[in-house]
Amino acid sequence: MATITTAAPRAGLPGVLGHRALRKLLVLALVAAVLVPFAAARWASGSWPEGLTVDVSGPLGGASDWIIDNRDSHPLFLYFFGHVSNVVVIAVRAVYLALLAVGWAGVTAVAALVAWRAAGLRLALGTGAAFLACGLLGMWVPTLQTLALMVVAVAASVAVGALLGFAAGLSDRTHRALRPVLDTMQVLPAFAYLLPVVLVFGIGVPAAVLATVVYAAPPMARLTALGLRGADKEVLEAVESLGATARQRLLTARVPLARKELLLGLNQTIMMALSMAVIASVIGAGGLGDRVYQALASVDVGAALTAGIPIVLLAVVLDRVTGAAGARLGQAPAPNSRALWAYAVAAAVAVTVAGRLAGRPEWPDGWVVGIAEPVNRAVDWMTAHLYSGVPVVGGTADWAGRFTTWVLDPLRDGLQWLPWWAVLLLVAAPAWLIGTWRTALTAVLAMAATGVLGVWKPSLDTLSQVLAAVAVTLVLGFATGIAAARSDRFERLLRPVLDVCQTMPQFVYLIPVVALFGVGRAPAVAAAIVYALPAVVRITAQGLRQVDPAALESARSLGATGGQQLRQIQLPLARPALLLAVNQGVVLVLAVVIIGGLVGGGALGYDVVFGLAQGDLATGLTAGAAIVCLGLMLDRVTQPTGRRTEEGA
Amino acid sequence: MRRRTTPAAGVTALLLLTGCGAADMTEQASPFAHARGAKTVTLSVQSWVGAQANVAVARYLLEHELGHRVDTVQIDEVPAWDALSQGRVDAILEDWGHPEQEQRYVEDRKTIVNGGDLGVTGHIGWFVPTYFAKRHPDVTDWKNLDKYAEEFRTPESGGKGQLMDGSPSYVTNDEALVRNLKLDYKVVFAGSEAAQITQIKQFAQEEKPFLTYWYTPQWLFEKVPMTEVKLPPYEEGCDADPEKVACAYPHTPLQKYLNADFAENGGEAADFLRKFRWTTEDQNEVSLMIAEQKLSPEEAARKWVAGHESTWRKWLP
């Protein structure tokens, strides 16, 4: 039916002009026709013109030297950054010592009991089991370190996010001003801004916590604002008519009404913070992430997995518990809820005391199950047998080689061969078609900024990797998503797999992808696909499932086959969800393609790694800024208007 | 009005929270250090296994013989210098030569002091697998490299031969060398040592030819024997201008560096780290156990310590 309605206007000339998309393209062509000859004559076409670049390496190098020379004496550091840093260290230390003092039995009991009260018995058992598993894997102390870091980082993110959210929720002006800032914070790949944080705070916990806050605060801010703005008008009017002051209205009506959004914000913030825990290990954050990173150095996938599993477990537990707690909000509390809480506290105290009396509060050394060795054997077997010489289909190395030669190379060379203004036009067209002229302008300016920064070529190299990875991700993701939407059984089976792919630190699978695909851009693309796929699958499946059942029913009654239903009803109706999936896929792929700098991905990712490794602010920060610009551009180009309310991880 | 007061209030709160004095950025240890009142030493580990071996043995002895707790932080070389200067870590046990950093921190700012030789001599070079060098003995001279460019080609090197480099944090002149020696090669950065080792192992498994930036001492030579390609000989100062380098890498006696404050007040631990000095063979023995037999660094250190008491007795204060 949808095809009929869109086909009709194509009939006559007025119809063509009336078609908004075509009109936009015509305007764009007109603008191009006027500007391109001028630009081409002024700055010889081809790669980005020299005349339009600004060399920032001098001032950046100077800034870096200034920071190092003044870090111990300048008031800015002594009275501001120094205190920030101290507060973080003291807070993390306090939490860490408290966790150590409670002992392993106590920590497990407290976690399980909180989960019991917040989310029910099943999740309580799951939580307890997850903590015990962390201990069994021999990761008890790193787990506590990560927990301490997370508690502080999440608390800070929630505080910052809630403050921003309140400001945006209560004032339209702030809301408008804040939106682009939050947008930017969210598309920033974390890897790109580690360097400046490190330069100011030095390596270690304070830098890691602050980098995490930048990354994890935006969802909290967004959802707080959303909750406050979405409060029921009638309730507010009723409260106002009772003569409540503005503050009373906020505290007694608007905040309680926004509880669900606030809790969802907390949930998102925790997930983002955890995903940052590993990346932050590059700058010496310690804990589980550090174990993963150190295992990488000795090419030990088993050890990396041993440290990666507790991260996955923490993420899944925290996600489910906060999710379930959110779903319980609004239900009438159980009649004896107070008493049950009291029991829970008493039980936790009892276990803690018992644990301390029984002996050492540390996890006993003997209770450790080594999984590293079998995992390594499995990985070795896999890579030895799949790398090359597989009959008929060829080994993974051959695939990677072909993918590089037939897909990545032509894409990169094509993009780099295009005149710069043609690239800008290519960016403008889809951005304008999907969004407004504003989004198109942002996208074009962001793309142009990479040229101005003098990293046009590496940016296009990175872009080509992103495009290739996104294409594969979407093909696989849509197919899997459609299958998951059609079969409940399949979706249930898929869920834990997706959970693991999404929360497993990317560092863990960097080595297996190298072992399978060799060094180069192919493993970076492969890792990006693994990481971005779950989000695409989930959003697709959810979108398809939400398609109006009545529409499907009527199609079925007209005798449409399954394939026809899918093509003509479900997919068109789920279009917003599919567009969102594309958008999320693009942003997630970019984040990992950059980390691919660690496995030979080259381009901007390599520059960031180089900057971090050599303390070279000029190279690292320029590349970081270019990545941010690319992220903004890709986000805008794929951003359907009105996405704003939706949140993705 | 209200909006303007918020940041001010925040800053005030922060100041109240922390006391109003100056906060010294140089005195901030890890929040995980000194838990339970133990004497803690923080060591920096670099990403190559040799560095892990040094740290593993130092850590084992510090913990079991001197009763210290040891924290390790994995960071790249240059940031490690910065961290050492700030007191975030107490020692770097293996430094491959960073003249700029030495000038800045040891000479000018005096926040770092030299901790003496590690006893191991490091050397960087270009290597081909020995199985390939045996078949084509002339490949070991740089002048003949162009002849084999075809064989070293990969999808990443775009028509030229591939010279595989490792982590961007490592000391390298390779891009300048390829340019200045006018070789038909492209430097492809593996991005991390882990990726480079994985790739080398995959090549070796099929006896494929490859050319790589590599260094001794390194445990991988035991698994994949490699032969060095002769570059124009190193002379003092020939690598002074990074743009014009056209000579081999030097042989570097690896150095230890300590935080100045720790060196003075670190007591037994600082003494021990200064005396720590072993041989290439010792280091390789431990490295191989960690990287190839997949022993945990602690177990590897325990094994080595059990068999070499005469060596490490001398390091104890």
Residue by residue, DSSP assigns A621-637 as HHHHHHHHHHHHHHHHH
Whether the pLDDT of residue A164 is over 50: the answer is yes
By mean pLDDT, which of A501-505, B117-121, B207-211 is the weakest?
A: A501-505
Which pLDDT does position B28 carry in this prediction?
56
Closest-CA residue of chain A to B7: A163
A558 against A362, higher pLDDT: A558
More confident residue, A445 or A252: A445
How far apart (Å, rounded) are the C-alpha atoms in residues A649 and A587?
A: 10
pLDDT in tens, B162-191: 999 888 878 788 888 889 988 899 898 888
Q: Which residue, chain included where needed, has tokens 């990761």? A: A139
| Complex ipTM value | 0.78
Q: Tens digit of pLDDT for each residue in A19-55?
A: 777 777 777 777 777 777 777 766 665 677 777 777 7
Reported as a single tens digit per residue, the pLDDT across A414-434 is: 888 888 888 888 888 888 887
Q: What is the pLDDT of residue A93?
A: 87
Report helix, strand or coil for A243: coil
- More reliable by pLDDT, A216 or A340: A216
Annotate A487-549 with DSSP letters as a single string.
-HHHHHHHHHHHHHHHHS-HHHHHHHHHHHH-SSHHHHHHHHHHHHHHHHHHHHHHHHHTS-H
| % pLDDT > 70, chain A | 92
List, for residues A599-626, the tens digit of each pLDDT value. 888 788 888 888 888 877 788 888 888 8
pLDDT for A504 equals 80
pLDDT score, position A570: 80
CB contact under 8 A, A298 and B194: yes
Amino acid A334: pLDDT: 64
Q: Which residues of B touch A171 (CB under 8 A)?
A: 3
pLDDT: which is higher, B17 or B223: B223
At A63, give phi and psi (nearest 5°): -60, -40
Contact A535, A484 (CB under 8 A): no
Per-residue pLDDT tens digits for A269-296: 888 888 887 788 878 777 888 888 877 7
- Contact across the interface for B191 and A300, Cβ inside 8 Å: no
DSSP state of A252: I
The verdict on a CB contact (< 8 Å) between A520 and B154 is yes
Q: Which residues of B touch A290 (CB under 8 A)?
A: 73-74
**Six-digit token string for A561:** 């086959």
* DSSP sequence for A72-94: TT-HIIIIIIHHHHHHHHHHHHH
- Contact across the interface for B191 and A384, Cβ inside 8 Å: no
What is the average pLDDT score of chain A?
A: 80
pLDDT above 60: residue A325 = yes
Q: pTM, whole model, 2 decimals? A: 0.81
Kindly report the number of other CB atoms within 10 A of residue A564's CB atom: 14
146-205 of B, contacting A, C-beta below 8 A: 154-156, 158, 164, 167-169, 188-199, 201-202, 205
Distance from CA of A276 to the nearest CA of B (A): 17
Query: What pLDDT does A1 receive?
Result: 35
Please, which pLDDT band fits residue A646 given cuts at 50, 70 and 90?
very low
Q: Are B155 and A90 an interchain contact pair (Cβ–Cβ within 8 Å)? A: no
Please report, to the nearest 10 degrees, the dihedral formed by the alpha carbons of residues A498, A502, A508, A513 taken in order.
Answer: 70
Residue-wise pLDDT for A194-213, tens only, equals 888 888 888 888 888 888 88
Comparing A74-78, B69-73, B163-167, the range with the smallest average pLDDT is A74-78
Burial A417-454 (b: 16+ CB within 10 A, else e): ebbbbebbbebbbebbebbeeebbebbbbbbbbbbbbb
CA distance B317 to chain A (A): 30
Mean pLDDT of A569-596: 83
Average confidence (pLDDT) over A381-406: 78
Average pLDDT over residues B3-27: 53
Residue A137, amino acid: L
Reported as a single tens digit per residue, the pLDDT across A484-519 is 888 889 988 888 888 888 778 777 777 788 888 888
Task: Tell me whether residues B31 and A148 touch, CB distance under 8 A.
Answer: yes
pLDDT at residue A330 in the model: 63
Quick check: A131 pLDDT over 70? yes
Among candidates A611, A521, A519, A523, which has minimal Cα distance to B168?
A611
- B14 pLDDT more than 70: no
Using a CB-CB cut-off of 8 Å, the residues of chain B touching A300 are 291, 294
